[in-house]
Structures are given as C-alpha cells and as structure tokens.
Amino acid sequence: MFLNQLIPPPFLKGWSVIFFGDKSNQLLLQEADVALKADEDTFIRANKLNVALLTVDDAQDLIDARKADIVLASVKDAALAKPSIDSGADAVIIRANAPPTVETYKQRPIIRGTGEALLLVASRRGVEQIFSSERELIFEQPPLLDVEQFKREFKAFNGVVFDMLRVLRPKASGIDYSAFRRAQMFREHLGIEVVLVTHEYQNDLLEQRDAYGINFPVLNMYDYFQEVNRDSEPKELPSRFVLSYDDKQRATRRDTYDMLGFLSRRQELDPTNLRPYEVTYYRPDGTPAIHETYGLIDGKNILTLMELINRQGKVTKSFTRHEEALSYWLMEMLSDKTQNYFLIDDRAPDWNEAYRAIEAAGLDNVRVIHQLHNIHVGGDLNPFTAPTKERYIYLTDKTIRTDAILSLTTQQTEDILRRYPLPNVFNIPHPLPNVTAVKAKVKPLLVVQVGRITKDKQHAKAIDAFRIVLDKVPQAQLHFYGSGTLQEQLQAKIDSLGLGASIMFKGFTDNIAQVFASAAVSILPSLKEGSPLVIQESLQNNCPVIAFDCRYGARDSIVDGVNGYLVAVNDVEALADRIIKILTEPGLRDKLSANCARSVEKYSPEKVASKWIKLFRMFMQR
C-alpha cells in the first residue's frame, strides 16, 4: 500500500505524515519523501513542520517536547492519556494489541490499540485525521472554521461566484445537477448566492430554472444582448412557436416567443431541409438586437456571422464564431474592478476562449476554478499515457486562465499530479444532501443498477454476471433503473438468453432512495466514471455496493468487504461471485449495510463546505 493511496498529495505539502505500527511502514515514509523516519523519541522535520513523538511514562516527559509544533504521546498506562493531553499532547496512543478505537478529550484523539498500523496526519493546528492501514478513517478533527466569520470576510472581499454552464435543459445532466447541489450548499452553508451563467439561447430560461427548484440568479448571453428583464411576470401564450409556410406548404419561417410574451427570435428556414440560415433576435420593444447567418459546412449548420445591433439599427460589433461573442460578453460582465469574481467552470471547453481572454488581459480580480467531472483522458484510459481530452485541455494549455483545478476523488488527484506538473490541484468532492435513510423492507434477492443506459455503464456486463448468479440463485432479480439509447439492444440480449423473467428495465424513478433501501445490493459495472453519485446515494440508504474499481470514484466510497466490494474492471466472474456472496451468506448483507451510511458522512454539505472555505480563503489572502 502506498502512502498516497491514503492521503491525497495536495495535503502532503506543509503537512507531516507519521506511521505507527510495523517497521516496514517506514519505507512508505521514505518513498513519500515526507519524513526521514518515525522512530519514537525522535523529532521529525517534514516540510518545516516539527513533530515530537515520545514514549511517555510520566506527563512531565512532555515538557521537553513543547518546542515542537505537534506533540504525539505514546503511553502504556491508560491513566496517563488525559494528563498527557493536559500537559500539551496533541494526540495520545495507548499501546495495546487490539484494533484501534478512538475517543476524544478536549477535542484531541486518544487512540487505544496499535494492533494494526495507524496513519496520523498532522498540521500546525493539531492532529487532523487518523486512518487505519486499510484506509478506514478512524478519527477526523472537526473543522475549526467560523462560518459566520467567513461570511463577513467574503462580503468584505466583494466576492461574486459565477457557475459557468451552457443551458438550463428540460432534463438536466448529472453535471448540471451537481452544480445545482453545490450552489444550494453555498447558499445554505456559506451564505453565498451563486449566479448561474449560461450562453445558449433560451426563451424559457427561468421556467426551466424553477422546474428544478433552483431559484438562483441567472445570467444569459442572449438575454444580455436582447436587454431582457427577467424580473417581469411570465405570460400565458397560445403557442411559443409559430411557423409560416410558402405556397407549397413548406415551412419557411419559425417565430419564437419568449415566456414574457414578446417575439424573441425569427428564423428564416431553408424549405428543403428546415435548416435556419438567417436568425434575428429582438428586444422586448421589438427592435432587432442580434443578427446571425449560418452556412452548411461538412453537413453541419455552422454560425458564420453574428452581429450586435444598437437601437438605431447600426451594427456595433461582429463575430464569426459563437465563442468570440461569448468571450466578448464575459469580459463585459467582469468589467467591475471593485468586485472579485470566482468562476467555477463546469462546462469546458465552452468557455476556454473567454478564459484565454481573461489570462491575456491579466485580470487579477478574476479566479477561474476548473471542475473535473469525469476521467480526463481518452483512448485506452491510461491516466499517464492516454491523450488528454479536449474538454480538459486546461491541464496542459497555459494560455487558459487556471487558478485552481478541482478533482472529485483522491485517486484522480493523485493521477493528475503524477502526470502534470501543476501546483493548484485540490480534492473537493460533491456534497451529498443531508437526508435520513429511507426505511424499507429489504428484498433479499433483489439487485439493482441505477443510471443512464449508455456504453460506459456496461449494462451488458451486468447481464453476463447475472446469468452466472442465476445458476446459483435462481430466484434472484436484477432491475435496471434509468433510460438510454442502448435499452432496446440490451433487451434483445436478455431475451436471447431467456432471462426476461429475471432481468427487467424499470425506467425512470423519482424515488431512488426507496429503490436502494429495498434492494439487497446495488451494482455499478462501469468502464469509467467521475464520482458516481449513485454509489453515495446507495450507501446513504444502507444498501451495499459492488462496483468495478474503475477510474474514478468507486474506491473513494467503497471499502472492500466493509460496505460493499470492489472488483477489477470487466471481471464478470468476480462481480457474479460477490453478488452471490451477498445474496446467500447469512448475515453478510446486514453486516455490510451497518457500515454504509457512516461511510458517506465525509460528503456532508458541512464538511464539503469547509473545504470550499479553505479554498476561498487561500485566494482571499493572496
């Protein structure tokens, strides 16, 4: 086991990492280049952080260690534990040959038992975390963050947070949903009102926003140029789209009416293929604001000219690409030098040209924070050799403003730092809403897989595994929840195998918690992921998970044999074996289930918000 499997590398800088336990663990310290040795009675210098590690037979033994930043006491007599903390120890280990248990005294950990290796992470404010050698988090110091103080600091800093999206769709993607949840966390836990920023045309912008219950402010490029005030009340219209026809009854024009009641867009159509070749956008008072022309290039309808028009009908600005207009508009939005802007980038590469303009202009009141949502490479998915995906080109393109890069998982953070020499990569997961686990009667032979029915989710592998399961457990059931283009093809596979009575598609559900709570186990045989929310939601509802150990996310939530199982990617036999094990071994499902909800507490909005506070303060203090 490598040290960086336990602690994400961004936290190693300026931290001290000390092992207790088997002496072979000293090799990990040397490999990590964090400390030279961790023998008792030795001062350790790691990145200018002094740690005193002492065997204590009397609390007075701690006096000589007080010049250290962190003092760790190792005692044999349990009666010395609390006096050692009273005398200045930041953590105490009571030596005993037993699995570790932790209690706290004055918010400092007392660890009883060193039967297995322990990893402590220390900062200058004390011991932060304690892990077992199996990566289980045993103790975590509560964040000493004054949220109300942060709110005052952010307000004094004139901070503004923009969430950079594309459009508010009728059916939001997983990326959009995660952005909405993060914005909700900012509002409830940080006192920050996030502004959603979109750039595609929408005549029902606020209607779509309100459909998701996300009443955040929204800025849209077309609204800006059309001078639309979204504070007005929407109007009931007989139709928002009106078609005009030629004498051959072919559509030649499409008029689009905004939900506020005015003619918003007029598209001139090629009657042979209904392709828009000329588009005009109007202000609420009826004057034209934008004129666009399109050309058919390589079979695609491509914007060739976009003109901004003032109220006198004069063209004031011209662009030949949508990205040029987007860059121009964003620079206009960021022109107030009294504000400090934080742009959270959820939709690269849409905004990359704008970020290049920010970098070229040297705007020091703007910080661009790029959020990774999936694996950052293509090809064979090897994170160290495969080509970087175009949407994540900011990992290598220095012309794109990049103040911080956020990874959702520790493994992806490690992979990025190993490949790209970047100083600003941080591990901050998505928040998981605080909800009480649903109580439901568990169906002991029910297996579920939840998610879009796409190639990467590998439902076919689940079918192959379940064919093996049914040989051992004939009454078992596999239910797929979700929708996608591959459903018909997968159903044909199920029918050809004669498994239609055991494997079923259940479609979309708006009560996913109930689905997980009633299942014996959930599975996720994905080829690749970002940080699958379905794993966290399953665990939150006390449903164990079996997942392929793909990059990324499964291993951040699943501890093998504790709250589920990790199996090698595409190992169908191992997947089937673990399913059979949970369905047939008495008491195993209950044992795993008992550990599920606790394992996702690290994703609580409060804990994730504390990480954002640290990130914002890093920028605010520069």
Higher pLDDT, 209 or 148: 148
pLDDT (average), residues 592-606: 91
Higher pLDDT, 291 or 73: 291
Measured CA to CA, the distance from residue 347 to residue 352 in angstroms comes to 9
Measured CA to CA, the distance from residue 254 to residue 266 in angstroms comes to 6
User: Any idea which architecture 443-603 has in CATH?
Assistant: 3-Layer(aba) Sandwich (3.40)
Specify the pLDDT at position 14.
42
Specify the pLDDT at position 567.
97
* Dihedral sign, Cα of residue 482, residue 349, residue 416, residue 405: negative
Mean pLDDT (the chain) is 86
Specify the pLDDT at position 147.
87
Question: Predicted confidence band at 116 (pLDDT cuts at 50, 70, 90)?
Answer: low
pLDDT at 615 over 50: yes
Measured CA to CA, the distance from residue 483 to residue 487 in angstroms comes to 7
C-beta separation of 524 from 534 below 8 A? yes
C-beta separation of 29 from 38 below 8 A? yes
pLDDT (average), residues 547-557: 95
Measured CA to CA, the distance from residue 1 to residue 337 in angstroms comes to 49
Full-model pTM: 0.78
One-character DSSP codes across 27-55:
HHHHHHTS-S---TTEEEEETTEEEEEEE
User: Residue 542: which region, alpha, beta or left (left: phi > 0; alpha: psi -120 to 50)?
Assistant: left
Measured CA to CA, the distance from residue 478 to residue 446 in angstroms comes to 6
158-170, pLDDT tens digit by residue?
A: 999 999 999 887 6
* Dihedral sign, Cα of residue 382, residue 386, residue 391, residue 397: positive
DSSP 388: B
Higher pLDDT, 126 or 300: 300
pLDDT (average), residues 500-515: 95
Domain parsing of the chain, residue ranges: 3-140, 241-326, 443-603
Question: Predicted confidence band at 123 (pLDDT cuts at 50, 70, 90)?
Answer: low
pLDDT at 90 over 70: yes
* Dihedral sign, Cα of residue 225, residue 227, residue 230, residue 234: negative
Higher pLDDT, 47 or 481: 481
Question: Predicted confidence band at 7 (pLDDT cuts at 50, 70, 90)?
Answer: very low
Question: Predicted confidence band at 50 (pLDDT cuts at 50, 70, 90)?
Answer: low
Specify the pLDDT at position 102.
84
Q: 168: closest CA among 125, 211, 131?
A: 211
